[in-house]
Structure 1
Amino acid sequence: MKRNNTKPNLLLSSLALGGPVDHGTKSDDSPQVLLVTNKRPRSAVRAVRFSLLEGLLDDQNRLHKIDHSADSSARHRRGAGALDLRRFVRTVPSCEIVHCNLAEPEAWTMLAVGQTLVARFFGKAVVADLGFSIDEESFEHPPLALRLILGLCTVAVVTSEHAATILARRGVHVEQIPEALAPSEFTDRKVNSVQPQVLTVYSQADRSATECVVRAFNSVKAKYPRAEMTVLADDSDGDAARQLTGDGARSSITVAAALTAEQTSSYYAEADMFVNSSVVGGLRPMKKAMASGLPVVSAAGFYRDELIVDRRNGLTYRENDPGALADRIIELVETPRLIGELTENARLSVADHTWSRIGRRWSSCYRRLRTTRRTATAAAAGHHSHQQT
């Protein structure tokens, strides 16, 4: 694959630059949506979901925004929460739907609870967008603020079918909308059997997962001395990842942190395979790897089984088993035909996850919420009129 230095492969970059996005048929009757952000996603990759929504709504001239995250240096000043809530109260009457960005656990605050409560008081539909940063434990035993938000919101939106099932069991009205992929992320690639390039993502919440990958890679390197591995990390996790992996001048493992969207895409373009072992993250990076023609090796279990079927569109191994992981990596290096089969099926698995199709799903979600809200408002008005007569 030839690298394209003028068109970054991430949706975030295209939207930020005002690139063309096909969201389907536009409608002047689209709902007015207020996007509320109290905590921005920590990395460019994790910001893709919210950037899609901003681009979708801004393209339809239906976007209102409140972004408290830009003022992070003053978040703890006296009265900050009250000022933020007053600003929210002034803005919310002009909108029909309030979309709360709750993709980061740090956003599960009493301020978010207050915003949800105020929106419901004004009769607005509330979307609690939990994104893809939530682990199973947070769904099974949510903290107080998240429990209150889930009880107040109109609908909770998640990316994982497994997460949707857990929330539905708790009585939460939930909808699953997958992560979006840019068309430019669907590319071709071949494995370098002489010097395999392995790509993985560091998860501070699941440190043992990266330890497993490092141990497996050392076994691979014993057979292929020129093998190299790159570990992608968020800015705040860079030092921890380097300490864990032994990243240094003489190491074959490189940690890349604080990356722009274009830099992240370049690592996917240069790699030969993607390894995911995290049990609390990795869904979006795995999908990006599948779309970009990278064969994926993933630990089995949890939401990963929704995406990877062993020997159909990827390879799986038992969680925290570095020996099994090393065997899968070596198998990919030594079996080019298998790579072709896996990557072809993988691309088909995520073909419906382009930003145009996901954008239409968000539009449909908003319209359903608007219709339900208007029906309920009309019914309440009719009941009140009947009582007066």
Structure 2
Amino acid sequence: MKRLWLLSMICFTPLLTLYGLDEVSAQWIVNPCETQSLKILMATYTFPKLSETFVINQVVGLIEKGHDVSIWAKTAEENKVHEAVNAYNLVAKTYYGELPPDLETYDVVICQFGPLGNEFLHLKQSLKLKAKLVTFFRGFDISQYLYENEGCYDVLLKKCDLIATNCDFFRKRLLALGSDPKKTIVYHSAIDCSKFPYTYHATSNKEVTNIITVGRLVEKKGMDDVVEAVQKVLAKGKNVHLTIIGEGYRAKKNLKKLVAQLGINDSVTFAGWRTSAEIARYLKESDIFVLASKTARNFDQDAIPNVIKEAMASGLPVISTRHGGIPELIEDGINGCLVDEGHSDQIANRIIYLMDNPDLRATFSINGRRAVEQLFDITKKADELSDILKNLFFVRKPADNMDTNLNDSLNSIQDHIASFHNNIKQQSDKIKHLTHDFHRLTDENQKLKTENNDLMTNNQKLSKENQHVSSENLMYVNKNQLLTEENQTFHSENSKLVGKNKLLTDSYHMALTENHAWTTKHQELIANNQELINKNQDLINKNQELIRENEELLAVNNKMETQIQEASVILAG
């Protein structure tokens, strides 16, 4: 049976050559005769971790493809976990600190982040493990860590079985470090589009436009730029509210301080860490998504953050930066907006522009969802990763009862066939997309024809109106000449008034001088009056003394008169 299959493959070889499919083009497409599942160890620093959904999505995707997946992590950090962790009982599948006792039975070890790749390469060599080693480079490990540890990956890039990264931006850096192009691939992190249902965000009758940003509160996420942009939007009279999802103690403290300094406490909400389901709800209720990624001072950089994919899948118009791998997803003006790193003014301008242009928001909403579905859907990416790992493990595996040369030929032919099938599938997908685009363009063309007819009708109306306007314009020209003559007359009269005004100004200055003199005299009179008041007060005081003395004398006089009367009575008796 195998010989018959081999002959049939040989018959197809000229056809493969005709299509120009060589061994390199089919390098990472699985050998179609190999359907066994793999025993896989996923190695990471912390598991489960809310900010690293890409690890959970890879694990779940491989489990769904029938592979036996275990996890190794150094620590378990968080109590709050994504829904998939419990749904697939992933904590029970995790080894913390200690290696699996049956490590030698694993087929593939996937290391998340370059430094872990170094550790497991040493293990593989020292324990002589059969497992193929795959290392994923994701961000800090190919930026900040590399800058701080020059030459740290020299051995890994030579000895690792497969080097993967999540954007072409980092792949180019790996190639510049000496990684073999044939074993250095881009594998984009996947998201589950079904968990982020599409919502049409083009129009909004709400009084407040809700802006959302999601990510760890670290410098490279540019949260400070988003806050400053929101303040600038508010300063221009736009009513917006910013929700920040994510944590980071020191950065959060600094962000809250910045919000207070800018005086926008009532317009910013810090929502903390959220699960995927909670984030999906926040995205659905928002109007614009912003992520202002930038190169941090410690040289830490981003690839294509999953939160951007989640926002686009949800139908949100997205504003982000020309940073890392982000431009590989966002086409400026097609499915989102791109601005320069560290420019909050550009972010503010794009927010206002999107608020004022609902048609553009609609375009970004539709194109964004389509791009994510085509490039990052978890089902497609799980198939792709499964095929890559199978091909890595099973490639050139000697067949029973076949000599080495025949096996090499068989593997080569299988690669050609796989590549051929893949090419046909890709062409078929392209045809589907082209057909879809053709129908869409046909509909749009019909719509444009209708609009063109309407425009022609409107143009005729405008032409008639233009003639009427021309007549009115001539009338206005004549009126303008009359107004010009009147203006000259007014100018002459104004010159006269200027002369009169000068005379009045001089008179005013003279009156002001006289007023100053009168003011001085008035002040002198006030001083004299005050002196007289003081003297009068002295006289009043003396007069009161005289009155008191007079009263005393009167009392004495009355007393003497009484005594005289008494004496007169005595004398008379």
Query: Which band: TM-score by shorter chain?
Result: 0.7 to 0.9
Does 1:95 pair with 2:118? no
Which residue matches 2:240?
A: 227
Alignment of 1:53-92 (within 5 A): 53-70=58-75, 87-88=99-100, 90-92=101-103
Query: Which amino acid letter does the alignment assign opposite residue 377 of structure 2?
Result: T
Distance 1:194 1:330 in 2: 14
Is the contact made by 2:199 and 2:284 (CA closer than 8 Å) also made in structure 1?
no
Query: Which amino acid letter does the alignment assign opposite residue 300 of structure 1?
Result: R
| 251 and 144 in structure 1: CA distance in 2 versus 1, 3 angstrom threshold | farther
Which residue matches 2:282?
A: 267
Which range moves more in the overlay, 52-61 or 268-277? 52-61
Report the secondary structure of 1:359's partner residue: helix
| 91 and 234 in structure 1: CA distance in 2 versus 1, 3 angstrom threshold | farther
Of 174, 179, 192, which residue of structure 2 is paired with 1:182?
192
Shift of 1:306: 0.8
Is the contact made by 1:108 and 1:145 (CA closer than 8 Å) also made in structure 2?
no
Report the secondary structure of 1:358's partner residue: helix
Of 326, 331, 340, which residue of structure 1 is paired with 2:353?
331
Shift of 1:161: 1.1
Which range moves more in the overlay, 207-216 or 354-363? 207-216
Which residue matches 1:340?
A: 362
Report the secondary structure of 2:266's partner residue: coil
| 220 and 162 in structure 1: CA distance in 2 versus 1, 3 angstrom threshold | same
Shift of 1:350: 1.5
Distance 1:138 1:367 in 2: 30
Distance 1:310 1:369 in 2: 36
Of 149, 153, 160, which residue of structure 2 is paired with 1:153?
160
Does 1:197 pair with 2:210? yes
Is the contact made by 1:35 and 1:63 (CA closer than 8 Å) also made in structure 2?
no
Relative to the length of structure 2, the TM-score reads 0.53
Is the contact made by 1:99 and 1:126 (CA closer than 8 Å) also made in structure 2?
yes
Distance 2:42 2:220 in 1: 33
Relative to the length of structure 1, the TM-score reads 0.75
Which residue matches 2:268?
A: 253
Query: Which amino acid letter does the alignment assign opposite residue 393 of structure 2?
Result: R
Distance 2:348 2:247 in 1: 25
Does 1:170 pair with 2:177? yes
Is the contact made by 2:225 and 2:344 (CA closer than 8 Å) also made in structure 1?
yes
Does 1:125 pair with 2:132? yes
Which residue matches 1:51?
A: 56
Distance 1:277 1:303 in 2: 13
Distance 2:117 2:132 in 1: 19
Report the secondary structure of 1:286's partner residue: helix
Distance 2:221 2:373 in 1: 32
Which residue matches 2:520?
A: none
Query: Which amino acid letter does the alignment assign opposite residue 130 of structure 1?
Result: F
Shift of 1:245: 3.7
Higher percent of residues as helix: 2
Which residue matches 2:544?
A: none
Deviations 1:93-148 (A, max 9, x none): 2121111222xx7x6487445335447x3232101123455564545775565554
Query: Which amino acid letter does the alignment assign opposite residue 228 of structure 2?
Result: R
Report the secondary structure of 2:137's partner residue: strand
Deviations 1:320-347 (A, max 9, x none): 2222211110000010011111221222
Query: Which amino acid letter does the alignment assign opposite residue 188 of structure 2?
Result: P
Distance 1:123 1:226 in 2: 61
Of 357, 364, 370, which residue of structure 1 is paired with 2:387?
364
Is the contact made by 1:295 and 1:339 (CA closer than 8 Å) also made in structure 2?
yes
Query: Which amino acid letter does the alignment assign opposite residue 211 of structure 2?
Result: V
Does 1:285 pair with 2:307? yes
Is the contact made by 1:92 and 1:98 (CA closer than 8 Å) also made in structure 2?
no
Which residue matches 1:322?
A: 344
Which residue matches 2:291?
A: 276
Which residue matches 1:16?
A: none
Distance 1:221 1:112 in 2: 51
Give the gaps of 5 or more residues in structure 1.
1-24, 74-82, 383-389
Aligned-residue sequence identity (percent) comes to: 20
Is the contact made by 2:209 and 2:287 (CA closer than 8 Å) also made in structure 1?
yes
Query: Which amino acid letter does the alignment assign opposite residue 68 of structure 1?
Result: A
Query: Which amino acid letter does the alignment assign opposite residue 356 of structure 1?
Result: T
Which residue matches 2:491?
A: none
Which is bigger in relative contact order (C-alpha 8 A, separation at least 6)? 1
Report the secondary structure of 1:341's partner residue: helix
Does 1:209 pair with 2:226? no
| 250 and 319 in structure 1: CA distance in 2 versus 1, 3 angstrom threshold | closer
| 41 and 224 in structure 1: CA distance in 2 versus 1, 3 angstrom threshold | farther
Give the gaps of 5 or more residues in structure 2.
1-31, 79-95, 295-300, 406-573
Distance 1:95 1:284 in 2: 29
| 284 and 375 in structure 1: CA distance in 2 versus 1, 3 angstrom threshold | farther
| 169 and 320 in structure 1: CA distance in 2 versus 1, 3 angstrom threshold | same
